[in-house]
């Protein structure tokens, strides 16, 4: 593990494989259960509830101790990123970093802002939503992380997410259910910021803490995770109709080949089923179409002019 404190980046060996990266492109999230140690989880709760005195390892340029105090007491207590124990055991946690390094390439940028999602339970579910400022597209320039510093079973209203909803606008009614990101203390959910989600309904009594922050790409994508020799970009399964093209485009972008990606439509690659007697036509074409991520996207972003 190499930690560059001055530039706020880390580098380490990637731990995810082709298959796991493709799963992230399909589902939009990875759950790491209970990876942060109990002492750090407890310290985090104590910090968030004001029981642990602040001990910042440095005062960032342009800020004063009064600023740090104000930030700590806000709903965005980003000063927790100045605490050595949090940096060492959560931000630089070995399993978390291996996954982030796989998805975001060399020299991952550490977060500068955290949101503290404190919920008083019991409470009804939140409405389903895509978070503010999400942008649909094949690029993965950052990922969002949820960190639960306490046991967060279903009764405590963990975040509920809809797998695959990071690709295009998705709507769900209040009664519709998703996948609950419940887990023991120290669990993290690494996910695409576009994914549809909500705070789940809770039935227990007490306070739920959750920290949300973004980690950033600082180098170009290059398929520098664990390459599986048997993984075949032509024949692997990318998903069903109207989905496979987006998943494959994202995977290609992560391989550093986003500009080469073309599809010819119909039953052509990247679509496939397991009833075929041969690989799909249309693989490796240099002419064809690209998925229209910007069509009816509803996110308010337009393509930059060429
Ligand atoms: Fe949200």
Q: Which domain holds residue 200?
A: 2-216
Does residue 198 lie in a domain region?
A: yes
Using the 3D structure, point to which of 169, 192, 216 is the last residue of a domain. 216
| Contact indicator for 269, 283 with CB cutoff of 8 Å | yes
CA of 131 to the centre of ligand 1 (A): 5
**pLDDT over 80 (residue 211):** yes
**pLDDT over 80 (residue 304):** yes
CA of 269 to the centre of ligand 1 (A): 34
Pairing of strands 179-180, 159-161: antiparallel
Does residue 133 lie in a domain region?
A: yes
Distance CA 160, CA 177 (A): 8
- Choose among 248, 244, 247, 272: nearest CA to 260: 248
CA of 130 to the centre of ligand 1 (A): 7
Pairing of strands 142-148, 159-161: unpaired
Domain containing 56 — which CATH number?
2.60.120.620
Does residue 305 lie in a domain region?
A: no
What would the mean pLDDT of 19-41 be, rounded to a whole number? 98
pLDDT in tens, 110-137: 999 999 999 999 999 999 999 999 999 9
CA of 141 to the centre of ligand 1 (A): 19
- Choose among 47, 148, 33, 149: nearest CA to 95: 33
Does residue 301 lie in a domain region?
A: no
What would the mean pLDDT of 186-200 be, rounded to a whole number? 97
Does residue 183 lie in a domain region?
A: yes
Task: Count the domains in the chain.
Answer: 2
Residue 202 shares a structural domain with residue 244: no
- What is the SS3 assignment for 153? coil
CA of 117 to the centre of ligand 1 (A): 9
Q: What is the pLDDT of residue 295?
A: 86
Residue 78 shares a structural domain with residue 170: yes
Does residue 306 lie in a domain region?
A: no
Residue 93 shares a structural domain with residue 203: yes
Does residue 92 lie in a domain region?
A: yes
Q: What is the pLDDT of residue 241?
A: 95
CA of 160 to the centre of ligand 1 (A): 10
Q: Pull the structure tokens for residue 32.
A: 């790491």
Q: What is the DSSP string of the chain?
A: -EEETTTTEEE-----BHHHHHHHHHHSEEEETT-S-HHHHHHHHHHHTT-S----S---TT--HHHHHHHHTSS--GGGGG-HHHIIIIIT-HHHHHHHHHHH-SSEEPPS-EEE--EEEEEPPPPPBPPTT---SS--SEEEEEEESS-B-GGG--EEE-TTTTSS-----TT---EE--BSTTEEEEE-TT--EEEPPEEEEEEE--EEEEEE--S-----SB--TT--TTTS---STTTHHHHHHHHHHHTT-GGG--B--TT-TT---TT-SSPPTTTT-SSSB---TTTT--SS--PPP-
CA of 276 to the centre of ligand 1 (A): 40
- State the alpha helices, DSSP H only, in the chain: 18-27, 38-48, 65-72, 84-86, 94-104, 244-254
What's the pTM? Answer: 0.97
Question: How high does pLDDT run on average in the chain?
Answer: 97
- Which DSSP letter does residue 294 get? T
* Residue burial 198-231, b: 16+ Cβ < 10 Å; e: rest: bbbbbeeeeebbbbbbbbbbeeebeeebbeeeee
CA of 287 to the centre of ligand 1 (A): 39
Residue 296: pLDDT band by 50, 70, 90 thresholds? confident
Residue 264: pLDDT band by 50, 70, 90 thresholds? very high
CA of 255 to the centre of ligand 1 (A): 29
Residue 189 shares a structural domain with residue 237: no
Q: What is the pLDDT of residue 104?
A: 98
Q: What is the pLDDT of residue 160?
A: 97
Q: CB within 5 A of ion ligand 1: which residues?
A: 131
Length of the chain: 306
CA of 288 to the centre of ligand 1 (A): 36
pLDDT in tens, 220-229: 999 999 999 9
CA of 211 to the centre of ligand 1 (A): 12
CA of 107 to the centre of ligand 1 (A): 27
What are the residues whose beta carbons fall under 8 Å from the beta carbon of 25, sequence distance 6 or more?
238, 247, 248, 250, 251, 254
């Amino acid at each position: 593990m190499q930690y560059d404190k001055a530039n706020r980046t880390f580098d380490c060996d990637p731990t995810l494989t082709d298959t796991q990266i493709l799963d992230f492109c399909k589902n939009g999230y990875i759950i790491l259960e209970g990876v942060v140690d109990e002492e750090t989880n407890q310290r985090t709760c104590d910090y968030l509830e004001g029981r642990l005195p602040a001990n910042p390892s440095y005062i960032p340029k342009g800020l004063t101790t009064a600023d740090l105090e104000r930030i700590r007491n806000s709903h965005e207590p980003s000063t927790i990123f100045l605490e050595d124990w949090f940096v060492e055991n959560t931000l630089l946690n070995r399993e978390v970093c291996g996954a982030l390094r796989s998805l975001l390439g060399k020299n991952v940028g550490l977060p500068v802002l955290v949101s503290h999602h404190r919920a008083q339970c019991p409470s009804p579910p939140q409405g389903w939503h895509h978070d503010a400022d999400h942008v649909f597209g094949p690029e993965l320039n950052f990922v969002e992380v949820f960190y639960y510093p306490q046991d967060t079973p279903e009764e405590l209203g963990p975040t509920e997410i809809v797998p695959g909803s990071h690709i295009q606008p998705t709507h769900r009614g209040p009664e519709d259910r998703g996948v609950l990101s419940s887990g023991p203390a120290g669990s993290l959910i690494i996910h695409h910021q576009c994914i549809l989600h909500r705070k789940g309904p809770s039935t227990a009594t007490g306070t739920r803490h959750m920290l949300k922050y973004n980690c950033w790409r600082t180098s170009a994508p290059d398929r520098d995770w664990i390459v599986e020799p048997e993984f075949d970009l032509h024949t692997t399964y990318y998903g069903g109709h109207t989905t496979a093209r987006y998943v494959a485009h994202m995977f290609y972008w992560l391989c550093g080949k986003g500009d080469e990606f073309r599809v010819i439509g119909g039953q052509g690659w990247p679509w496939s089923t397991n009833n075929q007697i041969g690989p799909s036509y249309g693989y490796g074409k240099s002419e064809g179409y690209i998925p229209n991520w910007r069509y009816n996207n509803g996110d308010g972003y337009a393509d930059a002019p060429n």
